[in-house]
Each structure stands twice: as C-alpha cells, then as structure tokens.
A and B are shown apart, each in its own frame.
Chain A
Amino acid sequence: MANPCFTQIHPTCIPVSGEYQSKLTLMSESLRNDGRVWVPKKQDDAAAIREGKKTGLEIPEADRDYYLERRYPAFGNLVPRDVASRAAKTACDEGLGVSPTGLAVYLDFDAAIERYGKSRAHSLNEYNADDMRIRELGVGVIEEKYGNLFEMYEKITGEDPYVMPMKIYPAVHYTMGGLWVDYNLQTNIPGLFAIGEANFSDHGANRLGASALMQGLADGYFVLPYTIGTFLSQEIRNPKVDPEGPAFKEQEARSQARIDKIMGINGTKSAETFHRELGKIMWEYCGMARNAEGLQKGRRMIRELREEFWSNVYVPGRIKEYNPELEKALRVADFLELGELMMLDALDRNESCGGHFREEYQSEEGEALRRDDEYAYVSAWEWDDKDPILHKEELIFENVELKTRSYK
C-alpha cells in the first residue's frame, strides 16, 4: 500500500442530515462554475438560520461573506478541491455554518440566474424584459445546464434549489494512494497487476476532476497491454497450476480459518457499528486538517477498536449461504488495518501536501506548507501487525522543477 494518507475531500457534497446515513451524496463540481459560495458575515445570522428562524434569502447582500472570492480573488469559487474544502471548514469552525448541524455553507445560483437571464433576454431581443421575465429566462438556462443535479439535490433534501440556495459541505471523495505497483503496474505479488483507481501511481498527492477516468484509460490502454505481455511470455510454457496443490490448500485453509474465527466470536455489536465508529475516528483525526497529537490518538483508538472487533463482533446468519453481513464484517476487519495505516502515514508526513493538510505546517495565511527537502518521497508501507514498515521511494524530477501553487 502506498501513500495512504493522501485523501481528497470533495467540497460540494450534500451535508449530513442524520446518523443513519450510509453515505453523503456528491454533487458535480461543475456547480462551482456558476454557483457562489457564501456564509453569513454575522454569527447571529448563522445561528438564526440554524434554528430555522431565518433563511439564506433574508440575509442582505452586505451581510454575506463570499469567502472564496474574498480570499482567492484570482480563482474565486473555482479554487481546487482541497482549498475550497478547508475554507468551508474554517467558516463552519468560526460558527458561520448554515444547517442545523452547523456543518454547511451556501452555494448560491442567484447571481448566475440573473446574469444568464439578461444575456438570454438580449439574445431574444427582449430589451424591455422585467425582473421576473429575466429570472424566468435565467432559471431556464440553469435548468439546461444543471437540471439533473438540481433534481437530485431536491430528491435528497426535499428543498428546491431554484428558490433556496443549495447547502453543501465537504466530504471524503477519493484516495490518491492505493496498492503499490512498480513501473509496469505489477504489485509486490508477482503476476498480480493493479490498474486504475486501485493503484497509487498517477495522482501523487492530489487529483484533478475526472482524472480517475484518465488513469483507467492510460493504465488500461497504454501501459498494461505492453507490460502484462512481458510477464505472460515468461509464464506461457509453465504447466497448469493444480488447484489441489499445497499453495491452494494452504490459502483455502487460511481463508476458512478467518471466516470461522469471525463467525465464532458471537459478540454483541454488528459490523456496521464498528464501521461507523471507525469512520468517525478517521473523519475526526485524519480528515480535512490533521495534527500529530490527533493522529497518535486516532491510531490508539483504532487499535482499541480492532481489539474490540475481534472479541465482540456479532455476525448473524450462516457461512454457507448468501450472507452480506459476513462479507461486511470481513471488509471492516480490513478497513481497521487500512485506517491505522492512513493514520500512520499521515503522522510520518510532517508537511502539508495536496490532500494531506497538517495544521503544524501551514503558512501565516493558513495555506499548505510543503517540505520538499525532506518529504519528496512515495511512502510504500509493508503491513506488520505491530508496526508497519515504511519503504521510501525517492521522487526524482528530471524535466520539471517542483513549484508551490498559488491561487491568490
């Protein structure tokens, strides 16, 4: 596993509504092309909105803080995902969040509706269109561009985003890290190749929109057809592998023992409960902003949770039937190890870089501070139940030089 700490947080998700939620829904980033992100300037207004005494529509223009436009005038609402996400967290941490949980900011299309409405009225030669007509035309344009997204938002929240500004909040979207592979996309298990989102190879510490698709195509079309052939050409004269052979039998016995063990615990808590607890620890201590103390604490908590899992999980049903709970429990067992590895990797990386933001390493203006002199390496981890082992792979840049990005 390589670079497990690089996690992309997506800024435009539908905010949390309750404990029962299985996942948060991602809204397309294209919405930030036309939507303006804001929170109230005054904490009182934000509190009134949270308590349902006011709505966003009642906050006058002068009392709104379009914080991305203010902080990043050159890029405004189009700053990269990690920057937009952290800025939303900062606003909500300051008590300016606008949903009952306090964890939401507005994404407002009002200005876009007016702008598009005027432009369409102009192209229809309706030079005397009144405000209502302009709005009607503007809503039409927004509907053409984002109709499906607005419909999805309304389905989930029950609120009409053509009238009320949308509420959004960042959520975990993607992990840039993945299975370690070599230059030929082969993992450390000979013959096992990993391509696309499963491996760590293309995105580095961050990832641009739609580039997971790019990686799938690049790995699948341009790399694997050449590298896997080289591997197979050495194997072609090998005799067929015997499924009754000792290697198979050994692995079968190992898998069976794991299943028997997990079914035999017969404890009191469901796999789902452990999964949710793990998720909370990850979000709290290995989320949008991390620090050494939190990461150490998080790792300890996951260790304890793992111990509890292996002594107290309850998996209903039987082994020899379609048993989704057994499948889930086996996955959660893996997640407990992966989660610990993410904490460990984030702790090792004493810098802020891409999808990894360490509070100790930021500029005076709160921007990410990279430390290329010490951390320009890929972290490849070898699992060990007590202390996973880090293998550093140095990053050498021959044709380009490392730069720090700026969106000011």
Chain B
Amino acid sequence: MDNMKLKLKVWRQGGKYAKGQFVTYDLDGVNDHMSFLEMLDVLNEKLINLKEDPIAFEHDCREGICGTCSLVINGYAHGPMQQTTACQLHMRHFRDGETITIEPWRSRALSHREGPGRQPRCL
C-alpha cells in the first residue's frame, strides 16, 4: 500500500524550559514499506517546504543497532513492536487512517513540560 493517510499527534517543545504541547499533522501518501523515521523524514520535508520548523528527533545508524532513535510511539518506547527500534518499525504495522501519538523519551535534558514554562534555576 502506498497511499496511507495518517494523523500524527506530535509533542512539540521549543527547549528545556519552554512550554510544550501536542501538534497534529495530517500526512498523506505514506508507503507501508517506509520505516517510522522515513515517514517522519517525509513529514519534515513537507514542513521545511512550508517554511515551518521540522520535528527534531534523534537518529544515527538506522539499522537497528545503535538505539538512538528514542521516540515514544503510541505510549511505547520505540513503538509497539517487541525487540524493534523505531528505525526498524515499518509503517505496514499501522492502519490507514490511524492516529499515531509521538513523544520524546522523558529525560532530564528535555523534561516534558505541560505547565507554563519556567525560568532556569541557577545550578
């Protein structure tokens, strides 16, 4: 299948101290052979062409070895497939028309901030 339509709910946050929120994107023309990261590449290319800020996400080997692609997909680290990194998760495991929630991993470097932003504390 090469024309899946997806609704992507993506957590966007400008930085460690900024307030974040979910932003929803509609993406058409997704091929079910794409990996999850390639699907995000396609969305980013679209956003860049619209002069909007692309979604920043970590990735390196894209071969399932390094584990850098740290996304929480539909509530699961690296997505719903067992023993599979996000780069090896292919879109054939999602349904046409599905809404997919994408968030970063919780970490000290980028804490998930749903309340109002606050000033950095002096360390």
Contacts and interface: CB of A to CB of B under 8 A. Distances in A.
Interface string B30-64: 01111101100110110111011110110000111
Interface string A178-208: 0000000000000000000000000000000
Nearest to B49: A270
Nearest to A314: B48
B70 interface: no
A316 B38 contact: no
A388 interface: no
A316 B48 contact: yes
Contacts of A157: 33
Interface stretch (A4-12, A297-305, A321-329): A321-329
A323 B56 contact: yes
Interface in A138-164: 152, 155-158
A127 interface: no
A17 B34 CA distance: 9
B111 to A, nearest CB: 14
Nearest to B29: A20
Contacts of B34: 18, 20-21
B75 interface: no
Contacts of B5: none
Nearest to A18: B31
Contacts of A17: 31, 33
A20 B48 contact: no
A26 B42 contact: no
B7 interface: no
Interface in A1-58: 17-18, 20-23, 25-26
Most chain A CB within 10 A, of B32, B54, B92, is at B54
Given A20-B41, A316-B51, A152 B56 contact: no
Contacts of A270: 45, 48-49
Interface in B92-116: 92
B21 interface: no
Contacts of B53: 316-317
A152 B63 CA distance: 9
B120 interface: no
Given A20-B38, A321-B15, A322-B15, A155 B88 contact: yes
Nearest to B87: A22
A272 interface: yes
A26 B45 CA distance: 25
Contact of B14 (A23, A25, A152, A321): A321
Contacts of B52: 316
B88 A22 contact: no
Contacts of A273: 45
B19 interface: no
B90 interface: yes
A155 to B, nearest CB: 6
Contacts of B57: 324
Given A20-B34, A272-B41, A325-B54, A156 B90 contact: yes
14 contacts: A17-B33, A20-B41, A21-B34, A22-B37, A25-B63, A26-B63, A155-B88, A272-B41, A272-B44, A321-B14, A324-B54, A324-B56, A324-B57, A325-B54
Given A20-B38, A155-B90, A316-B48, 10 more contacts: A17-B31, A26-B63, A152-B64, A272-B45, A316-B47, A316-B53, A317-B54, A322-B15, A322-B56, A324-B54
